[in-house]
Structure 1
């Protein structure tokens, strides 16, 4: 078993770019007591990212990689087995991997778009979490953080005067609403075992999710590093008062 098993073990899915990568860096830079596992769909890309992260002077903790495609059950099973063999447990699961195949021009979602979006944004986190619950139960303080979006808030879209109600992306929005229900369900089922679970909105930041990175930069949109800082706060226990809820950066909390 790896010596890193003495540290707090954190798995970040979709950890090779955007918010996921920033989160890996921020957590690994926060303390030598963290070991961060980069969940990488593409192992070759992941190994390149791992070397880049390990080379950063800010890194205090340790970092490793696991091949993980949450759309594939065999990949989930293999990843869970590897984490068990190397660390014996998992302390924090950050379900960050997600997609938004829509462009924002669609008023209604197509069936293929719904299928692909729900597969990654809902089915993946649900099945992966179930597979990792036995390892999380071995932690003294297990945490699950599901990265969602305020666009999944039914309360927000029901306020027709708000900016959220004017955005389209229907398949993405529905998938994040479903992910929010997954969070509420997980907390209900697992809190008796000492689990803490949150839904987290990373905010509208510069990423490749909407294929509009340069446009977001031109708009002066904040860096995805701010999203990573918010996730680190949860990992550190600074948002424990909001456990079971829908939280965001800067201490914000949303209605479901």
Structure 2
């Protein structure tokens, strides 16, 4: 009989819906070797999500799932998460930073920036920093930032980029900052063996822009959140490591990477390799 000591402990933030939820399901179905922590802003939302997962998938679930309250904008829940992990598992193997928002209600530009960066950038930075000591106790520690190619300066500057007219300056800015965080952590964590990936899930059906946005995505042909979830399982299992190391950038769900920055060379925009 396996115990928590034998399992890979994985925490996923924003896991009560969308990509995070589907990743929890995909990981649990793929192997009994994980203990999955379903992070959400409130324990009630997490428990409701778990109940639905169990009702829908039942015996197909191989790995245990535990709901945990972790609001990346709340230092108290971040500290509580660290305390829980220390006392229950004494380590963390993999952290998937999936929580993110697009502000779609009317507000000032300044308020939009503050809300967006608080969840998409400041929170992930603080959460990762807080949990590094627990990640360092793992034999194969990973941090995966669920980002977006909308944060790529290279693609935003490319006149041929098909999504160049998509609005959302504040969101784009936050994902560019998150990509920089991933690049910095990727460099900084080398000394203790931490692997860091910035992951681009593509355009898929989520609750990121509310119910109206969800309907718009469905009608517009957006992909199911199950697609990036399957790709994240591959990242967790190390199947994309070679690709991620040889081609620096935002790992794309269908293979290859999207450039995460840009540099002018002879008048042309090219990806920066770091």
TM-score by length of 2: 0.88
Partner residue, 1:156: 155
How many residues matched?
252
Contact 1:4 1:62 in 2 (8 A): no
1:198 aligns with 2:183: no
Distance 1:185 1:140 in 2: 21
Distance 1:238 1:245 in 2: 16
Task: Give secondary structure in 2 for the equivalent of 1:165.
Answer: coil
Partner residue, 1:216: 217
Unmatched segments (≥5 aa) in structure 2: 261-274
Distance 2:135 2:84 in 1: 14
Deviation at 1:216, TM superposition (A): 1.5
Partner residue, 1:248: 252
Distance 1:192 1:164 in 2: 37
Task: Return structure 1 stretches of 4+ with deviation > 3 angstroms.
Answer: none
Q: How big is each residue's C-alpha offset from its partner over 1:197-223, in whole Å with a ceiling of 9 and x where there is no partner? A: 010011100111122111221222210
Task: Give secondary structure in 1 for the equivalent of 2:73.
Answer: coil
Contact 1:10 1:90 in 2 (8 A): yes
Partner residue, 1:92: 94
Distance 1:210 1:222 in 2: 15
How large is the Cα RMSD of the aligned pairs?
Answer: 1.7
Partner residue, 1:6: 6
**Larger Cα-atom Rg:** 2
Deviation at 1:119, TM superposition (A): 0.2
1:78 aligns with 2:77: no
Partner residue, 2:50: 50
Q: How big is each residue's C-alpha offset from its partner over 1:92-142, in whole Å with a ceiling of 9 and x where there is no partner? A: 000000000147x99xx7000000000000000000000100000000000
TM-score by length of 1: 0.94
Output aligned runs, 1:53-72, within 5 Å. Answer: 53-55=53-55, 56=57, 57-72=59-74
Q: How big is each residue's C-alpha offset from its partner over 1:72-98, in whole Å with a ceiling of 9 and x where there is no partner? A: 111100011101111111110000000
